[in-house]
Structure 1
Amino acid sequence: MDPVIVVGAGPAGLALSLALAAQGVPSVVLDEGPGKEEPRAARTAVLRPDTAAFVERLGCATVRDEGARWTGWRSMRRRQQMRHIELGPEVPSPLHIPQHALTRGLREAIAVLPDPELIRVITHSRLDGIEQDAYGVTAHTRGPGATSWRGSHLVGCDGARSTVRKLLGVRFPGRTAVERHAVAALHVELPWPDEALLHRQPPWRGVGEEVTARPLPDGSWRLDWLLPPRGDLVTPDALVTRIRETLTGWCGTTPSYDLVDTGVYTLHHRLAKQWRVRRAFLAGDAAHLLGALGTQGLDEGLRDVENLAWKLALAWHHGASDVLLDSYQAERRTAVAARLRAADQSLPVLRGAGGLRTYLRGGGHDSLLTDGHVGRGPLGAPPAYPHSPLAPPHAEAYTSVGTPLGAPVEDVRVTAPEDGTTARLRDRLGRGRLLAVLVAPGTGVWDRRHWMSAGVMPRLVEAVSTLPVEGEVLVTETYPGAAAHTVLLVRPDGHLAAVFGGVRPEELHAAADAVRGGAPSRERTDRTADVG
């Protein structure tokens, strides 16, 4: 089989190649650049707990070594503190990391793969053309090593100006310049060490309507000032004035600081009309742009990757139906569209004058913005896919737990019956397997030799062994809202597919078949071609 062609070597493209490699699928990554990133301290990424965990599972060590997790979140309005949230085990913190460090960490994870042939990163390769047929995709590149590459599928992770999207003829409608921000990265001591701060309507001249301070490692901070949508250019002198006025307002006097990097970023909201054209797909900024009100485009790009990787892996190994491949667009485009809609509906309330803003008190404003920044509510929470085309049909054996169908599962501790190892449930994701999780109180204290052959366990193991896709049995002591002997069927990306009251082999088989989108198409999937 030909590899998957990934166009673009930013975080989304590199993460996709690693996610495919974890499932035994080779890829060729076409990188326009030289294979390394220019350090920019003011260009950072905020990853929600779910996407940070996903990147860490891919082997990216920099999320542990060079990212910052906040101990709290503060919201202020004028001189008054409106809200303070303590972040920690009960309320996980987002991860704040320089984007060049994240990209470098993904490249380093590729470099240490046990099988270096699984991912080939081809630098100085600019896409020039795409041809598709019933068996695969041919990508033509230009540059010093201009050539043609043959792949089973192609994924455009090549950013906002995506060449893949243009070659596919996909429209990219939306709004331009939704928000503008002046940004500075600096070393300084602030009154709230390790806490992030959102300050609305600060009472100091020349600062503007809103400023955000988010800590980075090693005593660094990123400060963002909301700019007027169509204001003047931000000169270096004007930016230094903003920095000094802001720091003086927070600290009483201007503290010593070391300015490391600056920038001005314009945020757009756009959504591609199609995310799949036959064997070609779009992901990340090539498929969507967002970022206003604390929403995070990179977060959504990584969620695209996690959703698409297991579907492409299933197609590569076993073939796939159009239902499975189309479900990527159905699930992810719908989720991102809802995020954009929530942001666009909130913008007039939060940024406009009069109207609803007159009646909505500051606490309401702060709740909306805080949710966007810390990863909660319609602006920030991980998406659910309740109306997915992969949702199993209703069966009498179904029951319910604390997690709605289609939502991400809780990260409970689980035991693998085969070898007795314990881990968090999310640590078992990303291997292309359906997970059948049995809720069995007491197994943590019983000898595994006894419960492996007792109760419903033998029947569950037998049922999972006959599923139409590879599955794995896991056992947990407890799951929110679940009774004993409940069985949860979890997709490879961690979303809950079905819940059964007991072991029901026929219903479990039907649910697994629905999750894979039904039987694969009959077209040939084993044709090979020379790569490169």
Structure 2
Amino acid sequence: MGRGRHAVDPVIIVGAGPVGLTLALALARQQVPSVVLDEGPGKDEPRLARTVVLREDTAALVERLTGVSLDEAGVHWAGWRSMRRKQVTREVRFDDATDPAPLHLAQHVLTGVLRAAVAGQRLVKIAVDSRLDSIEQEPSGVTAHTRGPRGTWWRGSHLVGCDGPRSTVRKLLDIRFPGRTAVERHAVAALRTELPWADEALLHRTPPWRVSGPSAGEVTGRPLPDGVWRLDWLLPPGKDLVTPELLVARIRETLAGWNSGSTPPYELLDTGVHTVHHRLARRWRVGRVFVAGDAAHLLGAFGTQGLDEGLRDADNLAWKLALAWHHGSHEALLDSYQAERRAAVAARLRAADQALPVLRGGAGIRAYVPGTARGHDLLLTDGHLGRGPLGAPGTYDGSPLAPRHLEAEVPVDTPPGAPVEDVRVTAEDGSFVRLRDRLGRGALLVLLIAPGTGVWERRHWVGAGIMPRLAAAVTALPSPAELLVAESYPGAAAHTVLLIRPDGHLVTALDGVRAADLYAAAEATVGGPEGARETSEAGATAGSATK
């Protein structure tokens, strides 16, 4: 941390997986340097049986930080189908405009995209073959020691453990990690073949063909590029050994079952056993040290994706660390990381715990209840597609940063604390961009809804109507903010003003230019009057230095 007003030491990130690399890029976007301690050699083993599914918001985050389209790195599902025995019980077709498709890609491909972006980023340093073995904290910063060929001491303003389920950071901080072990086990195979459903993912429950070996009666197929598929067979509870012979038999039976009894040609590329644990760290912050991603939580039953939540951790923490790094730590702002993210993940774990006895508890009387199978299909579809309590992104409606008692607050289709819609906006330089393009730059976003502005050049309306008053109110805010204009926003009337956090979550919507309410909301968003005063003073200092 800085000696004086500003930090001079980088943020130390432990772990060079997708979450750690994403955090480093997110900090660099906000002009914060970092050093990433990678205990490996700096490259990842290709494993097609180890894949991830990114939802719309997390895929957009990676693309925004890397400047790379992920369209060719993975497959956007054309559709989804649920099957039970011989019947199709549910079909979903994806439409980019209203229902964006999940993106499925190999994890090593995703990590490669992130590594390439980091390699071109001057504010990020990767230290390979660096295994953490101690952490020391002081009021002014953090010191970490690594062992190995390049063992040394590292000095940082803060440290973030993104070092996975067996996190050394979490253990050094003596943070408990309670939860459930082996909630689900899957036999996994990646193979190149042709299936009747091109680019469609599917979940088949209780398939009608005979299954070799122990089975819980559920198989999932998800497409990857180049004609490759990842197939997962749910295994019954226990530790039954999945032998190569048993897996090959399972592959042949499944492919034949999906192809009218005839096994098509296939090339087996990779195999594995995927075990799902559900755990949640008791604490996510101890002083200047934080945990994120699998170091903070494990989830994944029913098709849910733990990496999605890890990337959301990085997005949430980055802008708060950036404010602390540039303008001085404000405890309420940094504490809000744990309050917001832990609550969001805990809600998903509670939903999974409630669904476990329903979906995995055996038949019993539920087998005779009308509509039960349809309800099960809907729950599983929600998990796989990132919807509902099992899969949807969390909201921060109970955040300690949420403003209170705003007289001019009005409802829009996005509740306070939820991620905003990605509408087209006009930036301050007059260019048309997507709203998400402006996220993660360290500034709050103030969005005015002004029908008609999209058809006129900015110079015609920037000085008209309420724009001068709003521009003056934005300039006076206690934290840096960018003013944007949109033709429309779902559920918002003309002249509605939206305040949006740097990570894309809505703070509030106000009825017109209400300078006092806008100021109060912005002040709460950066942690209250103390955080607002620090950022305002730093902004004034920076402004006077450039005059």
TM-score range (shorter-chain normalised) is: over 0.9
**Residue type of the alignment partner of 1:351:** R
SS of the counterpart of 1:500?
strand
**1:520 CA displacement:** 4.2
- The equivalent of 1:237 in structure 2 is 245
Deviations 1:244-284 (A, max 9, x none): 00000000200000000000011100000000001000000
Do residues 305 (structure 1) and 310 (structure 2) align?
A: no
Deviations 1:328-374 (A, max 9, x none): 00000000000011011101101112254543521100000001001
- C-alpha contact (below 8 Å) 1:321/1:518 kept by paired residues: no
- The equivalent of 2:199 in structure 1 is 194
SS of the counterpart of 2:448?
strand
Residues in 2 aligned to 1:409 and 1:356: alpha-carbon distance in whole angstroms: 39
Deviations 1:399-449 (A, max 9, x none): 111111111111111001x21111111111011110000000000112321
| Aligned mate of 1:486, from 496, 499, 516 | 496
Residues in 1 aligned to 2:222 and 2:321: alpha-carbon distance in whole angstroms: 36
Residues in 2 aligned to 1:60 and 1:144: alpha-carbon distance in whole angstroms: 34
Do residues 462 (structure 1) and 469 (structure 2) align?
A: no
**Residue type of the alignment partner of 1:220:** V
- The equivalent of 1:529 in structure 2 is none
- The equivalent of 1:52 in structure 2 is 59
Residues in 2 aligned to 1:30 and 1:481: alpha-carbon distance in whole angstroms: 45
Distance 1:62 1:236, change over 3 A: farther
Equivalence map 1:110-121=2 (5 Å): 110-113=118-121, 116=122, 118-121=123-126
Deviations 1:196-238 (A, max 9, x none): 0000010111163100000001111000000012041000000
| Aligned mate of 2:405, from 366, 375, 394 | 394
- C-alpha contact (below 8 Å) 1:292/1:343 kept by paired residues: yes
Residues in 1 aligned to 2:281 and 2:86: alpha-carbon distance in whole angstroms: 42
Do residues 170 (structure 1) and 180 (structure 2) align?
A: no
**Residue type of the alignment partner of 1:310:** W
Residues in 2 aligned to 1:108 and 1:81: alpha-carbon distance in whole angstroms: 42
Equivalence map 1:23-102=2 (5 Å): 23-59=30-66, 61=68, 63-89=70-96, 90-102=98-110
Per the normalisation by structure 1, the TM-score is: 0.96
Identity over aligned residues, as a percent? 69
| Aligned mate of 2:481, from 467, 471, 474 | 471
- C-alpha contact (below 8 Å) 1:60/1:102 kept by paired residues: no
RMSD across aligned positions (CA):
1.5
**1:65 CA displacement:** 2.3
Residues in 1 aligned to 2:159 and 2:361: alpha-carbon distance in whole angstroms: 42
- C-alpha contact (below 8 Å) 1:349/1:357 kept by paired residues: no
- The equivalent of 1:452 in structure 2 is 462
Unaligned runs of 5+ in 1: 527-532
Distance 1:355 1:128, change over 3 A: farther
**1:467 CA displacement:** 1.0
Residues in 2 aligned to 1:75 and 1:163: alpha-carbon distance in whole angstroms: 40
- The equivalent of 1:226 in structure 2 is 234
- C-alpha contact (below 8 Å) 1:70/1:87 kept by paired residues: yes
| Aligned mate of 1:378, from 382, 389, 393 | 389
Do residues 329 (structure 1) and 334 (structure 2) align?
A: no
Residues in 1 aligned to 2:317 and 2:366: alpha-carbon distance in whole angstroms: 39
| Aligned mate of 2:298, from 253, 264, 289 | 289
Do residues 320 (structure 1) and 329 (structure 2) align?
A: yes
Residues in 2 aligned to 1:318 and 1:348: alpha-carbon distance in whole angstroms: 49
**Residue type of the alignment partner of 1:251:** N
Deviates more, 1:253-262 or 1:54-63: 54-63
- C-alpha contact (below 8 Å) 1:71/1:195 kept by paired residues: yes
- The equivalent of 1:530 in structure 2 is none
Residues in 1 aligned to 2:186 and 2:89: alpha-carbon distance in whole angstroms: 23
Aligned length: 521
- C-alpha contact (below 8 Å) 1:197/1:214 kept by paired residues: yes
SS of the counterpart of 2:133?
strand
Moved over 4 A (4+): 355-358, 520-523
SS of the counterpart of 1:262?
strand
Do residues 513 (structure 1) and 523 (structure 2) align?
A: yes
- C-alpha contact (below 8 Å) 2:146/2:153 kept by paired residues: yes
**Residue type of the alignment partner of 2:376:** H
**1:519 CA displacement:** 3.9
Distance 1:83 1:23, change over 3 A: same
- The equivalent of 1:107 in structure 2 is 115
Distance 1:158 1:355, change over 3 A: farther
SS of the counterpart of 1:155?
strand
Distance 1:334 1:41, change over 3 A: same
Distance 1:231 1:355, change over 3 A: farther
SS of the counterpart of 1:64?
coil
Distance 1:519 1:317, change over 3 A: farther
SS of the counterpart of 1:414?
strand
Residues in 2 aligned to 1:88 and 1:502: alpha-carbon distance in whole angstroms: 33
**1:61 CA displacement:** 2.7
- The equivalent of 1:213 in structure 2 is 221
- C-alpha contact (below 8 Å) 1:180/1:228 kept by paired residues: yes
Distance 1:74 1:329, change over 3 A: same
Unaligned runs of 5+ in 2: 1-7, 539-547
Equivalence map 1:131-150=2 (5 Å): 131-150=136-155
Deviations 1:69-119 (A, max 9, x none): 010000000000000000122211111010000001100001122xx2x00
SS of the counterpart of 1:263?
strand
SS of the counterpart of 1:309?
helix
Residues in 1 aligned to 2:430 and 2:366: alpha-carbon distance in whole angstroms: 57
Residues in 1 aligned to 2:438 and 2:67: alpha-carbon distance in whole angstroms: 17
**1:63 CA displacement:** 2.1
- The equivalent of 1:403 in structure 2 is 414
- C-alpha contact (below 8 Å) 1:320/1:519 kept by paired residues: no
**Residue type of the alignment partner of 2:514:** R
**Residue type of the alignment partner of 2:305:** Q
SS of the counterpart of 1:409?
coil
